[in-house]
Amino acid sequence: MSSQPSSAGSPPAAASTGSADTGASLAANIAAEVTAFAGEVGISDPVTVVGAQTHWDVGGVPLAGTREVRSPAGVWEHEPSEMTVRCGAGTTVAQLAAHLAQTGQMVPLDPADDAATVGGVLACGFSGHRRLRYGHVRDLVLQTRHVDATGKVVTAGGPTVKNVSGYDLARLLVGSLGTLGLLAEVILRTLPVPPAAQWLEGDGDPFVALDLLYRPSSILWNGSHAWILLEGDAADVAAETAKVEPLGFCVTNGGPPIPAAGRESMRPSDLRALAGRPGGWIAEVGIGLVHRHEPVPAAPVAPANAVLMDQLKQRLDPDNRLNPGRRAW
Amino acid sequence: MISEDDAADAALLADLRGVLGDRARDNDFERGLYSRDGSIEGSPPAIVCLPESAAEVARIVRVCRRHSRPFLARGSGTGLAGGAVPVGRPVVIATAKMDRIIEVDIDNRVAWVEPGVLNLDLSRALTPQGFHFAPDPSSQQVCSIGGNIANNSGGPHCLAYGVTTAHIAALEVVLPSGDTAILGGVEAEPAGFDLRGLFVGSEGTMGIATKAAVRLTPNAPAVRTLLLDFDDVSEGSAAVSAIIAAGLVPSALEMMDKRAIEIVEAFAHAGYPTGAAAVLLVELDGLPGGVDAGVEIVREVALKHHVGHVRVAADDEERALLWKGRKNAFGAVARIKPDYYLHDTVVPRSKLTEVLEKVYRIADAYGLIAVNVFHAGDGNLHPILAFDRREPGVDERVKAAGRDIVAASIEAGGVLSGEHGIGLEKRDYMGMLFSAHDMYTQDVVRETFDPDGLANPLKIIPTGSRCSDSFHQHVPEGAWV
């Protein structure tokens, strides 16, 4: 990957790995892009934000006639020693990953298809297969800028790796399917790419492996066969591999293909009961997520929670103009 | 003669006694105890309640609603931003008697706990199973999980593990309506908006957590702690950035300046080099290979930045001694001045040197003494302004210096608070970081939970009404940050 600005069709943005030369003009350019996006969203009519449409039907498709807008794209600022990256929400995960890889960093968003946009991944709130080690995608988000139903830009969170200033609206937006606001820009926390990574597979008991291993990156299981991803220092990966080899796991080249049509959510401890269930599913052991080849209806929400969610939607988007037809629950 | 206020308080007390019996208190002594937190002096609450169950909390909240009386939850009262300071003669709901660890569920890697459980007690209880609760505020011996949730607390080890919100799977809360709800869940992807994420850090303005499923973090098989000393603060700061840029995420990366080193050494006798301009306390944990490789990387980086000595703690005893110095640093400040005002801001790591210099200049300009002990790894500054409140006019100088420090941090691309929260202390500074529309939006979200404004009112979001208190603080020896 060259060091060219990874900007997709958006004129002025410049990627600035390690350079602080044009700070003021960069900030002005970013602000201009976000403002332009707010202008597109406007103040009336139903509107939906389009990413890569890799999960377009999650929560329902937008009503016919809904105007489409696209978030700004481009990796805008990346300072490796700050471990933060600022990008347009329309940036693809592939673009972001390629940019960060130049300095040995990553953001473990890990969507099934890396054509997905950063904003799309966050709007869905779908963590990737390495959540076991790196946590939920929402915990990678430091700051969001979104356009609200009144066409105004709202900033939530802050640009630093640690921050408790004000209400955590950024977490509210993650998983809200663009029904409370449309993401324009995000600042994410980056991590160093681990020096070594190794997949294992076999017919051993993945639950025993989970207990034996120290912070494995992923344990995937189809009911009879399991795959384990270990990451870290090469010597540690080798030592951890040796721990689970006696269970029936051996080194392999990669993990299984993960079905992307449906996500079934349960408690991690409920997974054991799935042994023998047909259907070609892949479960994340330790997390409780089952990836399936068929759509899974959303789980019901308790009445008290539904009231709060309805009221949040009502207060933040009284005319139901943001992604009408979609529901986050 | 009985005033209207007194009559209202008496009626309220009678109803709360109906719920709690003698665990609803209105004696002056206890009201006095609850009139403040670790920061500022407020006014006493009307009544102090000591519930023993979630059901009692719900009934207290309903009584408060009936009387249109504000209420606020209180854990251990170690907060440093005034979040638990009574405003408007409220009912204080102290969670100290709700201190049970209900269930440790290893299969799901969570523990269900009540809000009054103390942070360190929880981690100690989990030790036999090989787990701990990752957020570790310096006050962890006495601060409660409920307080951690309210403030989205951090701590030295949050550099690698994240702050409280990343470690809360689910919450049982009593909403300001008096209804009970479960926010989040132990399942992989609870449906709907992340109300749990919204609630964590909301400082009691969206209700009261009565139970939490906290995530269990496995104890690291290997831990190494290093002490590095530098002749120059800027070399120490540069080493912080260089360690991170080298691809390491230490589990903790703390810095102390010259004055802090001297104070701490006199107190803890940990062998801190008292001649140095700055020390870094670096902790690496994980599997042994990565930890050993990390120690070498830290050593190389430190040498490039002209480190004086690299001391690697030989055993757990030496590690504990090094941490004793750090975790008790603030109590030791009384050695130079009787009072201090403590700050909490975050700046980009690359701006540490620049902002530290500004902190010293600001303190000098106002005739105060600045001492710095802080979480350098995540840019989280904790400047202390030491002073003697008996000096005439000192309150105004301390307050002005505080505001200047916050402004300098924001100007450098930072934020208002890294881990202490906004509370009352920084409420009126929110406009430095957020636009009026940003704050309006936050308030709309808050109001969804509490349309009547009874849950810990007047915190976080600035209002037209300003508290006339000057925010000088008298932090007693033994306060933690």
Contact indicator for B67, B15 with CB cutoff of 8 Å: yes
Facing residue for B418 by CB, picked from A162, A235, A263:
A162
Closest by Cα among B332, B401, B418 to B360: B401
Nearest chain B residue to A311, by CA:
B448
**Residues of the domain holding A144:** 23-192
Residue B292 vs residue A3, higher pLDDT:
B292
> Shortest Cα distance from A68 to chain B (angstroms)?
23
Facing residue for A167 by CB, picked from B287, B414, B442:
B442
Instruction: Check CB contact of A277 with chain B, cutoff 8 Å.
Output: no
Do A219 and A182 share a domain, yes or no? no
- How far is B90 from A270, CA to CA, in rounded Å? 44
- How far is A47 from A181, CA to CA, in rounded Å? 11
- Give me the phi and psi of B202, to 5 degrees please: -90, 10
pLDDT at position A10 is: 40
Is A6 inside a domain boundary?
no
Res. B40 pLDDT band, cuts 50 70 90? low
pTM check: above 0.80:
yes
Into how many domains does chain A fold? 2
Cβ pair A232:B287 closer than 8 A: yes
Do A162 and A37 share a domain, yes or no? yes
pLDDT digits (tens, 9 = 90+) for B404-433: 999 999 999 999 999 899 999 899 999 999
Do A181 and A65 share a domain, yes or no? yes
Residues of chain B with CATH 3.30.70.2190: 222-328
- Dmax of chain A from CA atoms? 63
pLDDT digits (tens, 9 = 90+) for B191-208: 999 999 999 999 999 999
Closest by Cα among A120, A119, A112 to A58: A120
CATH code at position A133 = 3.30.465.10
| Assigned CATH for B222-328 | 3.30.70.2190
Cβ pair B189:A263 closer than 8 A: yes
Do A111 and A150 share a domain, yes or no? yes
Mean pLDDT, to the nearest integer, of B20-49? 91
- How far is B424 from B447, CA to CA, in rounded Å? 18
Cβ pair A81:B245 closer than 8 A: yes
Do A166 and A207 share a domain, yes or no? no
Is A97 inside a domain boundary?
yes
> Shortest Cα distance from B334 to chain A (angstroms)?
28
Is A74 inside a domain boundary?
yes
pLDDT at position B80 is: 87
Residue matched to tokens 């201190």: B99
Is A14 inside a domain boundary?
no
pLDDT at position B369 is: 93
pLDDT digits (tens, 9 = 90+) for B93-139: 999 999 999 999 999 999 999 999 999 999 999 999 999 999 999 88
Nearest chain A residue to B107, by CA:
A269
Nearest chain A residue to B192, by CA:
A329
Is A262 inside a domain boundary?
yes
Q: Among B437, B441, B442, which would you mutate to test the A interface (most chain A Cβ atoms within 10 Å of its Cβ)? A: B441
Cβ pair A160:B460 closer than 8 A: no
In the stretch 59-98 of chain A, residues with CB closer than 8 A to chain B read: 79-83
- How far is B336 from B329, CA to CA, in rounded Å? 12
Do A100 and A216 share a domain, yes or no? no
pLDDT at position B138 is: 83
Mean pLDDT, to the nearest integer, of B3-11? 92
Instruction: Check CB contact of A268 with chain B, cutoff 8 Å.
Output: yes
Do A204 and A269 share a domain, yes or no? yes
Q: Domain B335-441+454-481 is of which CATH architecture?
A: 2-Layer Sandwich (3.30)
Q: Is the pLDDT of residue B68 over 80?
A: yes
Which residues of chain A, if any, have pLDDT below 50?
A: 1-20
Is A222 inside a domain boundary?
yes
Q: Which of A176, A192, A208 is the last residue of a domain?
A: A192
Q: Is the pLDDT of residue B78 over 50?
A: yes
| Assigned CATH for B4-94 | 3.30.43.10
Do A178 and A84 share a domain, yes or no? yes
pLDDT digits (tens, 9 = 90+) for B152-192: 999 888 889 999 999 999 999 999 999 999 999 999 999 99
Residue matched to tokens 């890294």: B418
pLDDT at position B474 is: 37
pLDDT at position A298 is: 85
Do A36 and A102 share a domain, yes or no? yes
Helix axes B394-411, B352-365, angle to 10 degrees: 160
Facing residue for A81 by CB, picked from B350, B414, B419:
B350
Do A179 and A212 share a domain, yes or no? no
Instruction: Check CB contact of A224 with chain B, cutoff 8 Å.
Output: no
Q: Contacts of residue B448 in chain A, CB cutoff 8 Å? A: 308, 311-312, 315
Q: Contacts of residue A284 in chain B, CB cutoff 8 Å? A: 188
Is A90 inside a domain boundary?
yes
Residues of chain B with CATH 3.30.465.10: 101-218
Q: Contacts of residue A146 in chain B, CB cutoff 8 Å? A: none
Q: Among A26, A84, A107, A165, which would you mutate to test the B interface (most chain B Cβ atoms within 10 Å of its Cβ)? A: A165
pLDDT at position A22 is: 63
Facing residue for B162 by CB, picked from A135, A166, A171:
A135
Do A182 and A201 share a domain, yes or no? no
Residues of chain B with CATH 3.30.43.10: 4-94
Closest by Cα among B116, B95, B97, B92 to B13: B92
Query: Does 3.40.50.300 match the CATH number of domain B101-218?
Result: no
pLDDT at position B1 is: 59
Three-state DSSP class for B358? Answer: helix
How many contacts, defined by CB atoms under 8 Å, are there between A and B? 251
Do A165 and A203 share a domain, yes or no? no
Q: Among A164, A263, A282, which would you mutate to test the B interface (most chain B Cβ atoms within 10 Å of its Cβ)? A: A164
Q: Which residues contact residue B49 at a Cβ distance below 8 angstroms, ignoring those fewer than 6 apart?
A: B16, B19, B20, B23, B24, B25, B60, B91, B92, B93, B94
Facing residue for B349 by CB, picked from A82, A156, A266:
A82
pLDDT digits (tens, 9 = 90+) for B306-315: 999 999 999 9
B131 to A141, B109, B134, B213: CA distances (angstroms): 26, 9, 9, 14
